[in-house]
Structure 1
Amino acid sequence: MTKPAIPEVDLLIIGGGINGAGIARDAVGRGLSVMLVEQDDLASYTSSSSTKLIHGGLRYLEYYEFRLVREALIERERLLNMAPHIIWPLRFVLPQSQSPRPAWMVRLGLFLYDNIGGRKELPGTDTIDLSSDLKGSGLKDGGKAFVYSDCWVEDSRLVALNAMDAAARGADIRTRTKLIAGRADGDEWIATIEDKDGTHEVRAKMLINAAGPWVDEMLRTLGRAKNDRGVRLVKGSHIIVPKLYDGDHAFMLQNPDRRIVFAIPYEHDYTLVGTTDEPWQAAPGKAEISESETEYLLDTANRYFETQVGKGDVKWSYAGIRPLYDDHAANASAVTRDYVLDLEKGEPGRPPMLSIFGGKITTFRKLAEHAMQEISGIFPKMGRAWTAGITLPGGEIARGDFEGFVDTLSVRYPQLPAALLRRYARAYGARTHVLIGGAATLDELGRDFGGGLYQAEVDYLVEHEWARSAEDILWRRTKMGLHVPAGTAEAVEAYLATR
């Protein structure tokens, strides 16, 4: 019996976070053959644990990260136009009543923020009096505040959409699949991967190490560890509490220790408060918020808002490990959010490999472009840069008019609740029609698992977005975990077991 041939690809990408998915999409669109392996679900770790902002990083100006901020600000509006369903503008109120920074310094920073990134669509900075402006409602103190623009993003959905687009263009996306070994075979790699069916081999001309917190561990696994470059792990945690104020604006809260905490409207009924910056000394893995982090975030909220909250008010919390490039900064908050690409061009017996250190969600597309530039000498026939301005799945909304798109859904599906259609539109955009299919009524969407999670949505996420567990569905593809009744997760797991 003939032994089956080993699959062969140009690029084997390790890691299904935003950088891995973004590189897979860019590379396959240039004509390269691509396989991506992710040991768990897409965006299982860092990429689903962010503050969920597409932003330049106003506070990074304090650390003179001008190039990074400018690049991120340019990407901000570009990404908004690429995915107007999962990314939308957000105004941030920056109170000065408790600011450790003088108002002139903050205003100067905001002037740079407004002007160094080629802003075209988002409004610039305003100055308001919180004592008389409605945006001051719910705050303890009035006084001067600045109001500036950034954007919100459904972070884990951004990863899924990049993976979907990559797959539609021919990439082989494999979740729950781990790279466990790799060896040279001439000028190529023979990689051993493991999934639920056992171990398999893949031949690749090049490896892309986008393993995030595991990037160093992967280098050691492949015998490529270095001492001069590495990753610094920093934990960031967030809490979700009942809504602290009315309005669709966010707050940037300045603490006496000069650290920044955001308060952001979340899932209609809640406020997201975060983030923290704590060194992570343990091995990479699932992180949980600590008691001291919870107290820090609660203290921050209680310092600013009239509505006081305690530990019993925390409805949910999440924590992630940020794999930052180790620039040897003493303060975890000051560690650079910039990215570094480490290319080993390859030689006989030592095939090429590119490792990704650091990065942030906002700059994922540009990082992927830079990665393609780095490897262009290895693949001289690959196509040109193409991702700028090309919409992600579901982003095909005329003129980016989200409200107009919601109106068209209401006309097309008059018997479905408006709130459900709006939620679908926010999550799936133009692909809402694929999810709903031929259904015209709630009954035709199938079983209601609770809180408005219908069988049609579960089936869609399994068939199109690699969802395999209740956690994938309730907390990464959606945030329905905050809204469904007790027992829903178990019901979803039992249903998935029958598929």
Structure 2
Amino acid sequence: MPLTDQGVGLNPSLTGCDVLIVGGGINGAGIARDLAGRGLKVVLCEKDDLAAHTSSSSTKLIHGGLRYLEYYEFSLVRKALGEREVLLRSAPHIMWPLRFVMPHDPSMRPAWMIRAGLFLYDHLARREVLPGSHGIRLHDHVAGQSLKPQFTRGFVYSDGWVDDARLVVLNAIDAASRGATVLTGWRCVDAQRSASGWTVKLEDGSGGSRTVQAKALVNAAGPWAAQFLQAHAHVAGSKSLRLVKGSHIVVKKLFDHDHAYIFQNPDRRIIFAIPYEGEYTLIGTTDVEHHGAVGEARIEESEIAYLCEQASRYFARPVVPADVVWTYAGVRPLLGDERSDASAVTRDYLLDLEAGPAPLLTVWGGKITTFRKLAEEAADTVCRHLGVPAAAWTAQAFLPGGDLSAWIGPPVRPDTDFERFDAALGQRYPQWPASLRRRLARAYGSRIDLVVRADGLGPEVVPGIHEAELDYLHEHEWARNADDVLWRRSKLGLHLSADNRARVAAWCQSRWSSAA
């Protein structure tokens, strides 16, 4: 359903809802999807773009968190491990299995400790798709060719990859298709509580405003959660957030195989080096206390130097700051505690409910791998307090584009299902270059039929980007400008020259502003 039917701006008929959700990151979008699927009338407001901040700045992994075992976070790891294959099955176009290589450095953790940790990692939750771990001789393995020769043994284990920003958008699309109103560019400036519910004032960037009545309010504002409670909901916050910045660098690809690396650092932290966008390697992340404005997180030169230095401890070819072609940083809202080491702070979440005739549910913390479970628990809580007898449903559901059965028949396993879909797409559109077909298959899955017009993909705006795709992103995925398209709905900005990025921006401004 196009956005014009879902309220790009505020629907004039929208005066009330069951639940208003503040925050268009992964938790807010996931909760909106779950509640809408249970039949509730839902409004989601986001002051910027979907996934504009933390939820597009992750390391882009669906993982249990191997290093959290050292901090005895067994409950969190088990919960996250249990979600990996649920998520992989729900959207095989934007998520897929990934094998990780850990070179063994005897000066770090002993081999027996790593073997024990990987044994737990393999067995804390059921696995059907992801293979287990094993040891390797690096000199005999393709992943060893890029490493310094002193690393002779290592370990291989499984986790998953996700396009984090698209994951948020797919949840929002599903929420909208089930009746939710998704509003981007609308800020919740005031929320007043009464015996009958919440009176919420929303404002957009052009000065427009509207008041919405809601029976319940969900605060999924991420790093702004505590600030929202005090400044806008007029509620004294009972919890504190520890804001930790995670920064990443992107360099031209350092290896040609499809495995990722996990490196142990002398400070007891780890970093990942991951195949990225075909032509690049993604390296991250840091854990640095963030004390500035939440929406203005930027990587520091010291963080770039740190990531280059740690990667260079392992790779045969040193990584230097001059190699960096792109960076990004996000602020993770972690539950506050007294630990001095930011990397040791829990990544688990807490749902804090203020009950009564006007419930207020605040989401504290969380990680992208557990978003579906968090949303399910949040929806259970809200429904219970609103007296709505609606059952959980997302564990077996596809995300938009994830059901490939119309193209390939019944699903078998997500990774091979996607390959069959890609082949079927190639048979239907043999005129498309393989690289373009693969990118579109990954981005849209079975929603590709909504992208292709009667005249195909239409004219090229710049090489590899056609008018039909841009129109689709505007009409169906809340894209409002070139940054939405090039850095969140995709990472095409990495592959384009500055001139071509400017051409896309000019096209979007001309076409979309005139259509507004």
TM-score bucket of the superposed structures, by smaller chain: over 0.9
User: What is the distance in 1 between the residues matched to 2:246 and 2:137?
Assistant: 32
Contact 2:226 2:239 in 1 (8 A): no
Match of 1:431 in 2: 447
Q: CA deviation at 1:98?
A: 5.5
Aligned to 1:338: 348
The alignment partner of 2:20 has SS state of strand
Superposed displacement of residue 270, structure 1: 0.6
**Paired residue for 1:88?**
96
2:26 match? 18
2:290 aligned partner: 280
What secondary structure sits across from 2:146 in the alignment?
Answer: coil
Corresponding residue number in structure 2 for 1:224 = 235
- The alpha carbon displacement at 1:438 in A equals 2.9
Q: Deviations for 1:148-192, whole angstroms, at most 9, x for unmatched residues?
A: 000000000000000000000000000000000111243311100
Does residue 370 in structure 1 map to residue 377 in structure 2?
A: yes
User: Is this contact kept in 2: 1:187–1:346, CA < 8 A?
Assistant: no
Q: Which amino acid aligns with 1:91?
A: R
Note if contact 1:98-1:255 (Cα within 8 Å) is conserved in structure 2. no
CA distance, structure 2, for counterparts of residue 94 and residue 469 of structure 1: 40
Contact 1:52 1:152 in 2 (8 A): yes
What is the CA distance between 1:478 and its match in structure 2?
0.5
Does residue 127 (structure 1) correspond to residue 135 (structure 2)? The answer is yes
Deviations 1:16-59 (A, max 9, x none): 00000000000011111100000000000000000000000000
The 2-side partners of 1:414 and 1:265 are apart by 27
Q: 2:319 is matched with which residue: 302, 309, 315?
A: 309
Q: Give how far 1:286 is off.
A: 2.7
Give the drift of 1:197.
5.1
Counterpart amino acid of residue 169 in structure 2:
A
Structure 1 residue 449: Cα displacement: 2.9
- The Cα of 1:6 is off from its aligned counterpart by 6.3
How far apart are residue 430 of structure 1 and its match? 0.7
- Please tell me whether residue 480 in structure 1 is matched to residue 487 in structure 2: no
What is the distance in 1 between the residues matched to 2:338 and 2:362?
Answer: 19
Q: Which runs of 4+ in 1 moved over 4 A?
A: none
Distance 2:55 2:364 in 1: 14
Contact 1:15–1:210 (8 Å) recurs in 2: yes
Q: Give identity over the alignment, percent.
A: 55
Where in structure 1 are there 5+ consecutive unaligned residues? Answer: none
Match of 1:139 among 135, 142, 147: 147
Q: Which amino acid aligns with 2:445?
A: G
CA separation in 2, counterparts of 1:450 and 1:317?
Answer: 23
Match in the other structure for 1:65: 73
Give the whole-Å Cα distance in 2 for the aligned partners of 1:397 and 1:492.
30
Q: What's the counterpart of residue 422 of structure 2? A: 406
Change in CA separation of 1:98 and 1:466 when aligned onto 2, cut-off 3 Å: farther
Distance apart, 1:99 and its partner CA: 5.2
Report the TM-score, using the length of structure 1 for normalisation.
0.95
Q: Which of residues 251, 254, 271 in structure 2 aligns to 1:261?
A: 271
Aligned residue for 1:460, secondary structure, equals: helix
Q: 291-300 vs 185-194, which deviates more? A: 185-194
- Which amino acid is 2:344 matched to? A
1:419 corresponds in structure 2 to: 435
Q: 2:212 aligns with which of 199, 202, 208?
A: 202
Structure 1 pair 303–26 and aligned structure 2 pair: CA distance change class (3 A): same
Q: Which amino acid in 2 is paired with 1:223?
A: H
TM-score, length basis structure 2? 0.92
1:285 CA drift (Å):
1.1
Give the Cα–Cα distance (whole angstroms) in 2 for the partners of residues 257 and 402 of structure 1: 39
CA contact (8 A) 1:22 1:159 kept: yes
Distance 2:27 2:317 in 1: 38
Query: Deviations for 1:128-159, whole angstroms, at most 9, x for unmatched residues?
Result: 01022222011013311000000000000000
Q: Which letter maps to 1:9? A: C
CA distance in 1 between partners of 2:104 and 2:479 (Å): 44
Aligned to 1:111: 119
Separation in structure 1 between the aligned mates of residue 467 and residue 106 of structure 2, nearest angstrom: 49
Match of 1:45 in 2: 53
Gaps of 5+ in 2: 1-11, 406-410
Q: Count how many residue pairs are aligned between Structure 1 and Structure 2.
A: 488
